[in-house]
Amino acid sequence: RKEVEQDPGPFNVPEGATVAFNCTYSNSASQSFFWYRQDCRKEPKLLMSVYSSGNEDGRFTAQLNRASQYISLLIRDSKLSDSATYLCVVNPPWGSYIPTFGRGTSLIVHP
């Protein structure tokens, strides 16, 4: 099993739709989790942190499920500008500094 797995997609959705991505991880001792957004041929940009209690930022909601070892990202009311690749990042237990990125999930929002 890969350390961090994401469905590469693409997820093709109309404007206004709600879409959700999951990211599973194998190390149950992982300490922190993030979602990044990466536009084509650009650098990843930090989207949001993921907490057990959930984290909401406008149309975006991130959740962590430690029991099932996955994190999720929900995007409501999708905009054309949301089209990008969404990368999840899983960070190891304290004392190690090697984060593991998923390969990303591609989202295409169409008119």
Partner 1 sequence: DAGVTQSPTHLIKTRGQQVTLRCSPKSGHDTVSWYQQALGQGPQFIFQYYEEEERQRGNFPDRFSGHQFPNYSSELNVNALLLGDSALYLCASSLAYSGGYEQYFGPGTRLTVT
Q: Which residues bind partner 1 (CB under 8 A)?
A: 4, 8, 31-32, 34, 41-46, 49, 87, 91, 94, 96-104
Q: Letter for the amino acid at 45?
A: K
Token code pair at residue 75: 């995007």
* 17 vs 32, beta carbon nearer partner 1: 32
In the complex, minimum distance from the CB of residue 11 to partner 1, in angstroms, rounded to a whole number: 16
The two three-digit tokens of residue 93, written as one number:
């237990």
Burial category of 99 from C-beta neighbours within 10 Å (exposed 0-12, middle 13-18, buried 19 and up): middle
Residue among 61 and 100 whose Cβ is closer to partner 1: 100
